[in-house]
Structure 1
Amino acid sequence: MVKSGSLFEAEQIILKGVLELGQVIMQNFLESLDRSLKSQTPANYQVINKQPRTLNFIFGPVTFQRRYYQAGTKKREFYLDQQLKIKPRRRLSPHYLMMMAKIAQTTTIRNTADILNLVFDSGITADSVMHAVHELGN
Protein backbone atom coordinates (compact mmCIF):
# COMPACT_ATOMS: atom_id res chain seq x y z
CA MET A 1 0.00 0.00 0.00
CA VAL A 2 1.22 3.46 -0.88
CA LYS A 3 1.56 5.77 2.11
CA SER A 4 1.61 9.33 0.99
CA GLY A 5 0.49 12.74 2.06
CA SER A 6 -1.24 13.53 -1.21
CA LEU A 7 -2.67 12.05 -4.37
CA PHE A 8 0.14 13.75 -6.32
CA GLU A 9 2.80 11.94 -4.27
CA ALA A 10 0.92 8.65 -4.51
CA GLU A 11 0.77 8.92 -8.29
CA GLN A 12 4.51 9.64 -8.47
CA ILE A 13 5.31 6.64 -6.30
CA ILE A 14 3.06 4.33 -8.32
CA LEU A 15 4.43 5.54 -11.65
CA LYS A 16 8.00 5.00 -10.46
CA GLY A 17 7.05 1.48 -9.34
CA VAL A 18 5.40 0.67 -12.68
CA LEU A 19 8.45 1.90 -14.61
CA GLU A 20 10.77 -0.16 -12.40
CA LEU A 21 8.54 -3.20 -12.89
CA GLY A 22 8.80 -2.71 -16.66
CA GLN A 23 12.59 -2.73 -16.34
CA VAL A 24 12.57 -5.98 -14.35
CA ILE A 25 10.14 -7.64 -16.75
CA MET A 26 12.22 -6.65 -19.79
CA GLN A 27 15.46 -7.85 -18.16
CA ASN A 28 13.85 -11.22 -17.35
CA PHE A 29 12.39 -11.49 -20.85
CA LEU A 30 15.73 -10.79 -22.58
CA GLU A 31 17.72 -13.14 -20.36
CA SER A 32 15.09 -15.86 -20.74
CA LEU A 33 15.12 -15.43 -24.51
CA ASP A 34 18.93 -15.69 -24.49
CA ARG A 35 18.65 -18.99 -22.57
CA SER A 36 16.11 -20.40 -25.00
CA LEU A 37 18.15 -19.31 -28.03
CA LYS A 38 21.11 -21.32 -26.73
CA SER A 39 19.39 -24.52 -27.86
CA GLN A 40 18.73 -23.03 -31.30
CA THR A 41 22.27 -21.89 -32.10
CA PRO A 42 24.12 -23.68 -34.91
CA ALA A 43 26.25 -26.65 -33.84
CA ASN A 44 29.53 -24.83 -34.45
CA TYR A 45 28.65 -22.01 -32.01
CA GLN A 46 30.55 -22.21 -28.72
CA VAL A 47 29.77 -19.96 -25.75
CA ILE A 48 32.80 -17.84 -24.85
CA ASN A 49 31.22 -16.00 -21.92
CA LYS A 50 28.29 -13.84 -20.89
CA GLN A 51 28.47 -10.08 -21.19
CA PRO A 52 26.15 -7.31 -20.02
CA ARG A 53 24.42 -4.84 -22.29
CA THR A 54 22.29 -1.86 -21.38
CA LEU A 55 19.48 -0.54 -23.56
CA ASN A 56 17.25 2.43 -22.78
CA PHE A 57 13.54 1.77 -23.06
CA ILE A 58 10.71 4.22 -22.48
CA PHE A 59 10.42 2.80 -18.96
CA GLY A 60 14.13 3.25 -18.24
CA PRO A 61 17.49 1.57 -18.72
CA VAL A 62 17.68 -2.21 -18.64
CA THR A 63 20.94 -4.08 -18.16
CA PHE A 64 20.87 -7.75 -19.09
CA GLN A 65 23.34 -10.58 -19.57
CA ARG A 66 23.65 -12.36 -22.90
CA ARG A 67 25.87 -15.08 -24.29
CA TYR A 68 28.83 -14.27 -26.49
CA TYR A 69 29.50 -16.97 -29.08
CA GLN A 70 32.37 -17.94 -31.30
CA ALA A 71 31.56 -19.65 -34.59
CA GLY A 72 34.55 -21.17 -36.30
CA THR A 73 37.93 -19.52 -35.96
CA LYS A 74 37.08 -15.84 -36.40
CA LYS A 75 33.37 -15.06 -36.24
CA ARG A 76 32.16 -13.87 -32.82
CA GLU A 77 28.70 -12.58 -32.05
CA PHE A 78 25.90 -12.15 -29.58
CA TYR A 79 23.22 -14.47 -30.93
CA LEU A 80 20.50 -12.64 -28.96
CA ASP A 81 21.47 -9.32 -30.54
CA GLN A 82 21.47 -10.91 -33.98
CA GLN A 83 18.03 -12.49 -33.50
CA LEU A 84 16.50 -9.25 -32.16
CA LYS A 85 18.34 -7.15 -34.76
CA ILE A 86 19.96 -4.98 -32.08
CA LYS A 87 22.71 -2.98 -33.71
CA PRO A 88 26.12 -2.77 -32.03
CA ARG A 89 26.60 0.29 -29.84
CA ARG A 90 22.89 1.14 -30.11
CA ARG A 91 21.60 2.31 -26.75
CA LEU A 92 17.95 3.08 -27.50
CA SER A 93 15.21 0.52 -28.06
CA PRO A 94 13.40 0.59 -31.41
CA HIS A 95 10.11 1.62 -29.76
CA TYR A 96 11.81 4.44 -27.88
CA LEU A 97 13.38 5.62 -31.16
CA MET A 98 9.98 5.55 -32.86
CA MET A 99 8.39 7.60 -30.06
CA MET A 100 11.26 10.05 -30.26
CA ALA A 101 10.85 10.43 -34.03
CA LYS A 102 7.08 10.94 -33.76
CA ILE A 103 7.49 13.68 -31.16
CA ALA A 104 10.33 15.30 -33.14
CA GLN A 105 8.02 15.61 -36.16
CA THR A 106 5.82 18.03 -34.27
CA THR A 107 8.32 20.10 -32.30
CA THR A 108 11.96 21.06 -31.97
CA ILE A 109 14.75 18.66 -31.01
CA ARG A 110 15.19 20.40 -27.66
CA ASN A 111 11.44 20.21 -26.92
CA THR A 112 11.48 16.54 -27.90
CA ALA A 113 14.21 15.87 -25.32
CA ASP A 114 12.30 17.90 -22.71
CA ILE A 115 9.06 15.99 -23.37
CA LEU A 116 10.79 12.59 -23.18
CA ASN A 117 12.51 13.57 -19.94
CA LEU A 118 9.31 14.94 -18.47
CA VAL A 119 7.22 11.89 -19.32
CA PHE A 120 9.79 9.10 -18.97
CA ASP A 121 12.54 10.70 -16.84
CA SER A 122 14.99 9.26 -19.37
CA GLY A 123 17.85 11.75 -19.06
CA ILE A 124 18.13 12.05 -22.85
CA THR A 125 19.88 15.08 -24.30
CA ALA A 126 18.87 17.18 -27.28
CA ASP A 127 22.08 16.07 -28.99
CA SER A 128 21.12 12.40 -28.55
CA VAL A 129 17.67 13.10 -29.95
CA MET A 130 19.20 14.87 -32.96
CA HIS A 131 21.54 11.96 -33.71
CA ALA A 132 18.77 9.39 -33.34
CA VAL A 133 16.33 11.30 -35.53
CA HIS A 134 18.97 11.83 -38.23
CA GLU A 135 19.88 8.14 -38.12
CA LEU A 136 16.23 7.16 -38.49
CA GLY A 137 15.87 9.60 -41.38
CA ASN A 138 18.63 7.80 -43.27
Structure 2
Amino acid sequence: MFQNNFHLFAGELISTVLQSLDHENMLSPQRKRSWKVIKITERTIRTVIGTITFKRRYYQNKHTGQYAYLLDQAIGISPYQRLGVLLKAKLLDFTNIL
Protein backbone atom coordinates (compact mmCIF):
# COMPACT_ATOMS: atom_id res chain seq x y z
CA MET A 1 0.00 0.00 0.00
CA PHE A 2 2.82 2.41 0.86
CA GLN A 3 4.48 1.70 -2.48
CA ASN A 4 1.23 2.41 -4.39
CA ASN A 5 0.76 5.72 -2.56
CA PHE A 6 4.38 6.62 -3.19
CA HIS A 7 4.01 5.86 -6.91
CA LEU A 8 0.85 7.99 -7.12
CA PHE A 9 2.58 10.85 -5.33
CA ALA A 10 5.73 10.56 -7.45
CA GLY A 11 3.68 10.49 -10.67
CA GLU A 12 1.75 13.60 -9.66
CA LEU A 13 4.98 15.34 -8.66
CA ILE A 14 6.64 14.55 -11.99
CA SER A 15 3.54 15.73 -13.86
CA THR A 16 3.56 19.01 -11.91
CA VAL A 17 7.28 19.56 -12.52
CA LEU A 18 6.92 18.90 -16.27
CA GLN A 19 4.00 21.31 -16.55
CA SER A 20 5.98 23.90 -14.60
CA LEU A 21 8.94 23.53 -16.98
CA ASP A 22 6.58 23.93 -19.93
CA HIS A 23 5.10 27.08 -18.38
CA GLU A 24 8.56 28.56 -17.71
CA ASN A 25 9.54 27.88 -21.31
CA MET A 26 6.37 29.60 -22.51
CA LEU A 27 7.33 32.74 -20.55
CA SER A 28 10.92 32.76 -21.85
CA PRO A 29 11.83 35.87 -23.90
CA GLN A 30 14.17 33.71 -26.02
CA ARG A 31 11.33 31.33 -26.88
CA LYS A 32 9.00 34.24 -27.68
CA ARG A 33 11.39 35.54 -30.33
CA SER A 34 11.30 32.33 -32.37
CA TRP A 35 8.27 30.21 -31.40
CA LYS A 36 4.55 30.92 -31.07
CA VAL A 37 2.13 28.79 -29.07
CA ILE A 38 -0.38 26.90 -31.22
CA LYS A 39 -2.23 24.79 -28.64
CA ILE A 40 -1.96 22.85 -25.39
CA THR A 41 -2.27 19.06 -25.51
CA GLU A 42 -2.06 16.22 -23.04
CA ARG A 43 0.64 13.54 -23.08
CA THR A 44 0.67 10.21 -21.27
CA ILE A 45 3.75 8.08 -20.66
CA ARG A 46 3.93 4.75 -18.85
CA THR A 47 6.87 4.51 -16.47
CA VAL A 48 8.16 2.14 -13.80
CA ILE A 49 6.32 4.20 -11.18
CA GLY A 50 3.05 4.24 -13.12
CA THR A 51 1.29 6.31 -15.75
CA ILE A 52 2.23 9.99 -15.92
CA THR A 53 -0.08 12.42 -17.69
CA PHE A 54 0.83 16.06 -18.23
CA LYS A 55 -0.12 19.01 -20.41
CA ARG A 56 2.37 20.75 -22.68
CA ARG A 57 2.39 23.36 -25.41
CA TYR A 58 2.69 22.80 -29.14
CA TYR A 59 4.70 25.51 -30.93
CA GLN A 60 5.36 26.76 -34.43
CA ASN A 61 8.67 28.37 -35.37
CA LYS A 62 8.04 31.91 -36.62
CA HIS A 63 10.90 31.74 -39.13
CA THR A 64 10.84 28.19 -40.50
CA GLY A 65 7.23 27.16 -39.94
CA GLN A 66 8.42 23.98 -38.14
CA TYR A 67 6.11 22.57 -35.44
CA ALA A 68 7.40 21.09 -32.17
CA TYR A 69 6.65 20.21 -28.58
CA LEU A 70 9.61 22.00 -27.02
CA LEU A 71 9.15 20.28 -23.65
CA ASP A 72 9.32 16.85 -25.28
CA GLN A 73 12.56 17.83 -27.01
CA ALA A 74 14.03 19.23 -23.79
CA ILE A 75 13.37 16.06 -21.77
CA GLY A 76 14.17 13.60 -24.58
CA ILE A 77 10.75 12.17 -25.38
CA SER A 78 10.37 11.19 -29.02
CA PRO A 79 7.10 11.51 -30.94
CA TYR A 80 4.69 8.63 -30.29
CA GLN A 81 6.82 7.31 -27.41
CA ARG A 82 4.50 5.80 -24.80
CA LEU A 83 6.92 3.94 -22.54
CA GLY A 84 9.60 5.41 -20.31
CA VAL A 85 13.16 4.25 -20.88
CA LEU A 86 13.41 2.31 -17.62
CA LEU A 87 10.13 0.51 -18.28
CA LYS A 88 11.34 -0.46 -21.75
CA ALA A 89 14.54 -1.84 -20.22
CA LYS A 90 12.60 -3.86 -17.64
CA LEU A 91 10.34 -5.30 -20.35
CA LEU A 92 13.37 -6.27 -22.43
CA ASP A 93 14.98 -7.93 -19.42
CA PHE A 94 11.79 -9.83 -18.76
CA THR A 95 11.57 -11.10 -22.34
CA ASN A 96 15.19 -12.31 -22.12
CA ILE A 97 14.29 -14.37 -19.05
CA LEU A 98 11.51 -16.20 -20.92
Query: Once superposed, which parts of structure 1, at least 4 consecutive aligned residues long, lie more than 2 Å away?
Result: 98-105
State TM-score, norm by structure 2.
Answer: 0.84
Q: Which has the higher contact order (CA 8 A, sep 6+)?
A: 2
- Find out whether 1:67 has 2:94 as its counterpart: no
Provide the aligned length of Structure 1 versus Structure 2. 95
Aligned equivalent of 1:51? 41
Mapped contact 1:41–1:79 kept (Cα < 8 A)? no
CA distance in 2, matches of 1:37, 1:103: 38
Counterpart mapping for 1:14-25 below 5 A: 14-25=2-13
In percent, how many aligned pairs have the same letter?
27
Instruction: Name which one, 1 or 2, has greater alpha-carbon Rg.
Output: 1
**Any gaps of 5 or more consecutive residues in structure 2?**
none
Which structure shows the bigger proportion of residues in strand conformation?
2
Counterpart mapping for 1:1-138 below 5 A: 13-38=1-26, 39=28, 40-41=30-31, 43-72=33-62, 74-105=65-96, 107-108=97-98
Aligned-CA RMSD value: 1.7
Mapped contact 1:46–1:70 kept (Cα < 8 A)? yes
- C-alpha deviation, 1:98, in angstroms: 2.2
Aligned AA (1:85): G
**Any gaps of 5 or more consecutive residues in structure 1?**
1-12, 109-138
Corresponding residue SS for 1:80: helix
CA distance in 2, matches of 1:96, 1:41: 32
- C-alpha deviation, 1:42, in angstroms: 5.9
